[in-house]
Amino acid sequence: MSDIDIRTEGRAGRITLNRPKALNALTYDMCLEIENALDAWRSEDSVALVLIDAAGDKAFCAGGDIAVMYETGTKGDYAYGQKFWRDEYRMNAKIAEFPKPVVSLMHGFTMGGGVGVGCHAAYRIVGESAQVAMPECGIGLVPDVGGSALLARASGRLGTYLGVTGARMGPGDALHAGFADHFVPEDTWQALAEDLVATGDPAAIARAAAPAPTPDSPLAARQARIDALFAGAALTEIAEALDADGSDLATDALKRMRRNSPLAMACAIEMQRRLGPAPTIRAALALEYRFTHRAPERSDFLEGIRAAIIDKDKSPRWRHADMDAVSREDVEAMLAPLGADELNLEEELT
Residues designated as active site: 64, 113, 136, 144
Cα 314-31-179 angle, rounded to 5 deg = 70
**Could you give the CA distance from residue 186 to residue 223 in angstroms, rounded to a whole number?**
28
φ and ψ of 155, to 5 deg:
-65, 150
Q: Within a 13 Å sphere around the CA of 17, how many CA atoms are in the beta-carbon half? A: 36
For residues 212 and 183, the answer to whether their CB atoms sit within 8 Å is yes
**What separation in angstroms does the CA of 184 have from each of 29, 105, 130, 205, 208?**
30, 9, 11, 8, 6
Taking the chain, what is the end-to-end CA distance rounded to the nearest angstrom?
A: 25
- Secondary structure element (H or E) that encloses residue 4, with its range: strand 4-9
DSSP classification of residue 17? E
* Distance separating alpha carbons of residues 290 and 274, to the nearest angstrom: 13
Q: What is the CB neighbour count within 10 angstroms for residue 291?
A: 27
Length of the chain: 350
Which amino acid would we find at residue 12? Answer: A
The conformation of residue 64, written as its DSSP 8-state character, comes to: B
Amino acid at 186: E
Whose CA is closest to 157, among 82, 84, 91, 241? 241
CA of 120: how far to CAs of 5, 49, 92, 149, 214, in Å?
A: 20, 14, 7, 10, 21
Beta bridge partners of 87: none
